[in-house]
A and B are shown apart, each in its own frame.
Chain A
């Protein structure tokens, strides 16, 4: 049946859509602004005001960025950390979640409690730093990977997904004489692909954007990941701005270019990321 849409309803629709459009443009503008700056000449960028298109189009800033060896090193380090960290994270999360789903497992409840408790309480920044230090991981990319190798939350998400796999799948494999290790690697893991992909993307983005641990654990500039390198470049420019000496007027555009270079991988994979992140939020909310 059709319900008559009145004048008030139509006004509501138009007002609502207008507000949403304005809001979307406000979200988009800072990113557009930064991209425009990165292609502008330094004089054009320094004029200020609203920028909708690059002023005096030039690749100069990108040439400067890519001629520094540190950006390449930082790219390599970021990719290493994201790739290795994601693989380990996904594998270990699955390996932990699977046995804990077995109802009769002696000690399973205790381990589950130990894992869940870490969501409520933790040692904090300083004791964790001291642990990483005593493991000899300061100034090592492992310091960005190992401390976050599994998260309790992802174990829960993985467990709730694994519960949806029918038990008959495992039972028939057991009757064929396969042991649990074999079942896990050849049957369970392939069936878990959707949730593995979701958790992998969560981790990958988190590792790519990880700032705090890089700040705390890395001092050697050749080990810098992209976020910490970017922070250093920005801090350098701020220092100059505060002391009133703009020695290199192109810094503004160079920072913009570095920012764009940093977010390009995210931008390229975004449609993919968005889809899987949304799925993951649903998975997480089922449990919550």
Chain B
């Protein structure tokens, strides 16, 4: 008898579930129609390539495709870690990213603090219009301008009788990458900080001034603490991309004279995979890059939250 009741209950449950599923599908069908193209896009262009990472564990042959190429386990990773070129690229990536982090991350904060002190509105707007502009240009355009400006034949180097372009000199090339990125992005980087500063309650400043605080003290004790959450979030995002030293910029500006100091993981993967056609090997290098990037992001976020600031999630 117990079994009979159980069965009846089960049947009732099924009956209840089914119509409600159909009903909710009917209720939401138009939403699914809207969602479908986007869902297909993410599956095809984002998740299929994630599946394609499997070729890093295969000896991929174009003729066989991903389904019939032989599995080779971690072979490509062993070859990768034994390859001196890989270590050079990794070292360059970390160095260039590190320099960019140290110099180009604080630079917009400093500029934003300076701009925030400007009282004259027209002057401020003119400056903003000028310094934001390079952000809208591509690296090809900027690369072309810099080649011309710093060429020993035509540019400003003639004034100083310098005979080696910093773009052709291994000692200065990394510095040039950092400097030119700063030139391009410093202005635009201030936008988000200026927005955060605009949101600070003016009464805080008034109160501090009454207590006799000077400008520097106002900046140190009110402005900077108020934009700290913004700084932290941007820093986390930046850390997550530390293994992306910037493909466009480097690919456009580097040349055989400076390969040894500027070949980074992105250009290494590009060369292996798309110039030499070693798909499996290049995918292994690319996978290494994205996994380490993900781990760094998770680690920084964890660290920031432990320190009591709000993280990304």
Which residues of A are at the interface with B, using a C-beta cutoff of 8 A?
3, 8-9, 12-13, 16-17, 19-21, 23-24, 26-28, 30-31, 33-34, 37, 45-50, 92-93, 95-96, 98-100, 102, 104-106, 111, 114-115, 118, 120-131, 146-147, 149-150, 155, 179-181, 184, 205, 208-212, 215-216, 227-228, 230-231, 234, 238, 241-242, 246, 252, 255-256, 258-259, 262-263, 266, 270-271, 273-274, 277-278, 281-282, 285, 288
Contact = CB atoms under 8 A, between A and B. Distances in A.
B114 A211 contact: no
Contacts of B145: 30-31, 33-34, 259
A92 B156 contact: no
A49 B136 contact: no
B117 interface: yes
Contact of A20 (B114, B139, B158, B274): B114
Contacts of B136: 205, 209, 266, 270, 273, 277
Given A211-B252, A281-B192, A27 B39 contact: no
A24 B131 contact: yes
A99 B41 contact: no
28 contacts: A8-B214, A17-B118, A31-B134, A33-B148, A37-B154, A48-B153, A48-B158, A98-B34, A99-B28, A104-B24, A105-B28, A114-B42, A114-B47, A120-B240, A122-B290, A124-B286, A124-B287, A125-B286, A126-B269, A126-B279, A146-B45, A147-B45, A209-B139, A209-B140, A234-B147, A241-B151, A256-B148, A277-B136
B195 interface: yes
A207 to B, nearest CB: 11
Contacts of B45: 128, 131, 146-147, 149
Interface in B125-148: 126-127, 129-134, 136-148
Majority-rule SS of A interface residues: helix
A184 to B, nearest CB: 6
Interface in B1-56: 24-25, 28, 30-35, 37-39, 41-42, 44-53, 55
B148 A238 contact: no
A102 B24 CA distance: 13
A179 B30 contact: yes
B192 A118 contact: no
B248 interface: yes
